[in-house]
């Protein structure tokens, strides 16, 4: 298979995965029986599932970021979403409310920072619109003066504790923690990816800054699909839902295996 044919096939695989992922999200929302007295629960869980679809499909549609520099940033975010989702589903009503109130508090804090920044002058039209819009968004859910700002974690415990309570500590250990090194630009990431050893023995083989070009690696697309499927499966089990037909992840695995088979035969 030549490079042009391979690129065309990859684009087809991406298109199918993205469409099926979005269809799966809609199918779950349409099938879920909504209790309007518990809006926060449905909105939080729905938003987290939608966020997971967004992260997976955005990674899928941008093959140039399928590398060790950028893909882990998105995969780490997907790990964060999954742990939050799994933890919330254990006690959905109380934990959904915590999630919402913390987010509103953070928005209020941002709003107060903006106001403090311009308190000694008149705001520009754009600044005024931004402040009014933010204030209106908070007030539409909870009056600003009643909204508390929490400077700790939204759950009141660490992400590791959340993972332990949600029964996904392995996911935390093998996904969340390793990808955190990239997300936070820690030494165990940048030393591998952004340093290259000097070949001059007089320089004691010290390492120099380096920005390498990375090959496109479909393994990162596979991982995004895998984490999306894990989120869907955890949701399905929690609310006792069954979605018929081949999943986006199953189709992705099938297509990637076929692509590898064709490439090996070329």
Show contacts of 170-177: CB within 8 Å, 24+ apart: 171/79, 171/82, 171/83, 171/230, 172/79, 172/83, 175/75, 175/79, 175/227, 176/76, 176/79, 176/80, 176/83
pLDDT in tens, 128-147: 999 999 989 988 887 666 67
Give the whole-angstrom CA distance, residue 266 versus residue 257.
14
Mean pLDDT confidence for 185-208: 81
What angle, rounded to 10 degrees, do the helices at 39-60 and 71-88 form?
160
pLDDT above 70 as % of the chain: 93
pLDDT at 171 over 80: yes
pLDDT over 80 at 200, yes or no = no
Q: Which pLDDT value is given to residue 199? A: 72
How many C-beta atoms surround the C-beta of residue 106 within 10 A?
15
Mean local confidence (pLDDT), 64-92: 97
Q: What is the pLDDT of residue 162?
A: 97
Model pLDDT for residues 3-53, shown as the tens digit of each residue = 678 888 999 999 999 999 999 999 999 999 999 889 999 999 999 999 999
The alpha-helical segments, DSSP class H, found in the chain are 3-31, 39-60, 71-88, 92-117, 125-139, 159-166, 169-171, 177-183, 187-193, 219-239, 248-265
Average pLDDT score over residue span 150-178: 92
d(CA 51, CA 78): 8
More confident residue, 111 or 263: 111
pLDDT at 153: 82
| pLDDT tens-digit readout, 55-69 | 999 999 999 999 999
Mean pLDDT value across residues 182-203: 85
Q: Of 18-22, 94-98, 119-123, which gets the smallest average pLDDT?
A: 119-123
Per-residue pLDDT at 219 exceeds 90: yes
pLDDT tens, position by position, 109-120? 989 998 898 888
Please state the rounded mean pLDDT for residues 194-222.
83
Higher pLDDT, 3 or 227: 227
How much is the pLDDT for 208? 85
Instruction: Provide the whole-model pTM.
Output: 0.89
Q: What average pLDDT does this structure show over 167-181?
A: 96
Instruction: Write down the pLDDT at residue 143.
Output: 63
> 111 or 206: whose pLDDT is higher?
111
Residue 53 near residue 19, CB atoms below 8 Å: no
């Amino acid at each position: 298979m030549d490079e042009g044919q391979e690129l065309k096939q990859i684009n087809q695989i991406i298109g199918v995965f993205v469409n099926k992922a979005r269809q799966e999200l809609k199918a779950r929302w349409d099938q879920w029986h909504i209790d309007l007295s518990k809006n926060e629960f449905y909105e939080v869980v729905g938003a987290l599932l939608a966020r997971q679809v967004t992260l997976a499909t955005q990674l899928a549609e941008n093959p140039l970021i399928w590398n060790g520099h950028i893909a882990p940033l998105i995969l780490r975010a997907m790990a964060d979403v999954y742990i939050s989702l799994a933890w919330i589903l254990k006690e959905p009503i109380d934990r959904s409310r915590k999630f919402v109130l913390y987010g509103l508090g953070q928005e209020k804090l941002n709003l107060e920072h903006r106001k403090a920044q311009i308190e000694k002058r008149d705001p520009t039209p754009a600044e005024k619109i931004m402040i009014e819009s933010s204030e209106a968004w908070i007030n539409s859910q909870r009056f600003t003066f009643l909204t508390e700002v929490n400077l700790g974690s939204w759950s009141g415990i660490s992400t590791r504790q959340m993972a332990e309570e949600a029964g996904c500590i392995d996911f935390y250990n093998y996904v969340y923690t390793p990808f955190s090194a990239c997300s936070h630009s820690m030494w165990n990431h940048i030393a591998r990816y952004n340093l290259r050893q000097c070949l001059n023995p007089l320089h004691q083989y010290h390492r120099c800054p380096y920005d390498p070009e990375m090959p496109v690696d479909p393994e990162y697309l596979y991982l995004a699909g895998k984490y999306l499927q894990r989120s869907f499966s955890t949701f399905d089990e929690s609310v006792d839902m069954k979605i018929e037909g081949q999943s986006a992840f199953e189709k992705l695995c099938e297509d990637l295996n076929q692509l590898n088979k064709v490439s090996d035969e070329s």
